[in-house]
Amino acid sequence: MLLFSVVVVASFLCLGAGFPHGAPSIACKGMVPGHLPTVTSGTNPFRFNLSSNAYKPGETIQGTLYAPGQMFKGFLIEVGAENDVSSEETAVGEFINLDASIEKHVCGTAAVTHINNNEKSSVSFTWKASPDAKGTLYVRATVVQQFFPSRYWLGAFSVPLNPSK
């Protein structure tokens, strides 16, 4: 009985611990963390500051993900055509010039995620549109504030990014 409890507790901690070293590539499309359901509700406080509200195919946009006055631990950032939290993402373009002290690639080079679970107040990134990029795009993030109990926000979206002529 004691052994049984130890095993149960160990597996539970394992699940709850989530992914302190970054989102796994299985999260690329739905952008849902692999840990337990979130306890967050209400308006997503996370937002993006972007260097431009329009993109040029083949060129870059600088961005920062943050929530005023709030810290976070984990993140997954992509760019795609969806702006509905329940939509699956097809990530487009690539992230370049990563800050290796905070972030790493996942989903090829089409997304960035955290490399550790330190508290962060913001994360900055450089996204490069592919040469054939078209249509309205949105930067999208999943943000983890706590791994256990699991507290994360799905679907922080940027303003629509339209191709500039």
Which parts of this chain interact with ligand NAG (CB under 6 A)? 49, 64, 66, 122
Complex with ligand NAG: residue 63 or 74, whichever CB lies closer: 63
- Which residues in 93-107 are b (16+ Cβ under 10 Å) and which e? bbbeebeeebbbbbb
Nearest distance from residue 43's CB to ligand NAG, in Å?
18
Which is closer to ligand NAG, CB of 52 or CB of 64? 64
Give least dist CB 122 to ligand NAG, A.
Answer: 4
Nearer to ligand NAG, 66 or 153 (CB): 66
Query: What type of residue sits at position 87?
Result: S
The residues pairing with 48 across neighbouring beta strands, listed in sequence order, are 65
CB 66 → ligand NAG: shortest distance, Å?
A: 4
CA distance 47 to 45: 7
Nearest position to ligand NAG, beta carbon: 49
Nearer CB in complex with ligand NAG: 47/56: 47
CA gap 23, 143 in Å, rounded: 10
Q: Which two tokens stand for residue 31?
A: 């952008």
Classify residue 110 as exposed, middle or buried by CB count within 10 Å of its CB (0-12, 13-18, 19+): buried
